[in-house]
Structure 1
Amino acid sequence: MRNLILVLAFLLSGSIAVKGKNLYVNDKDTLLHYFDDAKAQLLASIDGLSDEQFNFKPDANSWSIGQCVEHIAKTEGMLRDMVIDLLAKPANPEKRGEIKTSGAQVVSMMQDRSFKAEAPEMLRPQSNTYNLKNELAVLEKERNITLDLINDTPEEELRNHITITPAKEYTDAYRFLLYIAGHSLRHTAQIEEIKKASGFPKQ
């Protein structure tokens, strides 16, 4: 339970800063497309990086690209476990009207890097040296499990299992899954920032 509170507080810390965007995320097909897009952007961002580039840190307090990828995979696994736990509880569709945040707002909030949040200890990188191929294998394993969960769960089930977050906002399993893909896109943007940092290796 403590881990759940920490992770949700971390992910929702910028929820007040939601900015409207012309986005619509409201069904399973769109959700799957969103995951496909998040994966494609991440792979394009790290494709062909050398070990030196993958492990470069702009400064002592910043993460490397390898650390970002590890964090993406760790967070996906933990959030997915939360979805599984939520789906195992009795459905409470009567709470659907309490959800005030749209799918589009979740997408917008997760990608808004104008707010910063410190990851809880269990989601922080555990190493300073990473191998691109190895980290991609871990990420691919986590993503395949997540996609199996989405494909195997009726959309109504994702909508009808609702919980309240540490921010005192109601959310459902569908939106939890949006957090996963949005979190990946958020750190893909961070990876692009690292690649533009002064001193980033040319090869």
Structure 2
Amino acid sequence: MKRTNNVLNEGRTLLNQLVNGHLEKTRKKLVKELASLSDAQFNSKADVNKWSIAQVCHHLVLVEKASLKAITWGLKGSNSNENKRKNVPLILLDRTKKIIAPKIVEPDEGPFEVEQVVNWLNDSREKLMNFLNTIEDKSILAEKSMKHPALGELPLDQWIEQIYLHEQRHIEQIKEIKLLLDAR
């Protein structure tokens, strides 16, 4: 019983940290990386087989929307017996390990406008935060889980954590793309 309470308390604390900082700070960093880009730079590819910055950002929008759906479905489901916490930062922030995006979150080819995609990012974040604010007892997020395509069965509070960590992973990718584009 003590282990269960520790997990629940850890889940509540983590969620408060996420909502009160990490999601917002990471999104500000992302938007700052985009602010100086023209639409042409935004849509340029360093390599024909790689994503443009615009596509990376479209992917982030799709992932956030899919994560919101997964959390919603997970809350409607019964409590899972498998609430094993994972070291999500270690997995997602290790860019030496490629993670293939599932079809549902693969970006369109574009072209996209910077302002348009920033609006999509703002809209998806607003929907996520509004939804999270409707959850009265946030400890339920540590009690229930859903299968994540790259991380396996994951407690719902860690689904929230993976949103900003995934974004951090792609901010580094965006920085690399910018350097490659500048080198041309």
Please, what TM-score do these two structures have when normalized by structure 1?
0.76
Q: 1:27 — aligned with what?
A: 14
Matched residues, number: 171
Q: Matches of 1:126 and 1:189 in 2, distance apart?
A: 21
Matched to 1:111, the amino acid is L
Stretches of structure 1 that go unaligned for 5 or more consecutive residues are 1-24
Please, what TM-score do these two structures have when normalized by structure 2?
0.83
Q: 1:182 — aligned with what?
A: 165
The verdict on how the C-alpha distance between 1:193 and 1:166 changes in structure 2, with shifts beyond 3 A counting, is: closer
Displacement of 1:55 after TM fit?
1.0
Q: 2:101 — aligned with what?
A: 119
Stretches of structure 2 that go unaligned for 5 or more consecutive residues are 1-11
Instruction: Summarize deviations over 1:2-35 as a string: whole Å, max 9, x none.
Output: xxxxxxxxxxxxxxxxxxxxxxx94222111110
Three-state SS of the structure 2 residue aligned to 1:155 is: coil
Matched to 1:157, the amino acid is I
Q: Matches of 1:90 and 1:199 in 2, distance apart?
A: 51
Q: Is 2:182 the partner of 1:192?
A: no
Displacement of 1:164 after TM fit?
5.2
Q: 1:18 — aligned with what?
A: none
Displacement of 1:123 after TM fit?
1.6
Q: 2:84 — aligned with what?
A: 99
Q: Matches of 1:170 and 1:123 in 2, distance apart?
A: 18
Q: Matches of 1:83 and 1:151 in 2, distance apart?
A: 13
Three-state SS of the structure 2 residue aligned to 1:196 is: helix
Q: 1:12 — aligned with what?
A: none
Q: Matches of 1:58 and 1:125 in 2, distance apart?
A: 16
Q: 2:63 — aligned with what?
A: 75
Q: 1:110 — aligned with what?
A: 92
Q: Higher mean Cα deviation, 180-189 or 169-178?
A: 169-178
Q: 2:52 — aligned with what?
A: 64
Q: Higher mean Cα deviation, 30-39 or 115-124?
A: 115-124
Of all paired residues, the percent bearing the same amino acid is 23
Matched to 1:143, the amino acid is R
Q: Please report the RMSD computed on the Cα atoms of aligned residues, expressed in angstroms.
A: 2.3
Q: 1:54 — aligned with what?
A: 42
Contact 1:27 1:155 in 2 (8 A): no
Q: Matches of 1:130 and 1:85 in 2, distance apart?
A: 30
The verdict on how the C-alpha distance between 1:29 and 1:76 changes in structure 2, with shifts beyond 3 A counting, is: same
Contact 1:58 1:199 in 2 (8 A): no
Q: Is 2:140 the partner of 1:157?
A: yes
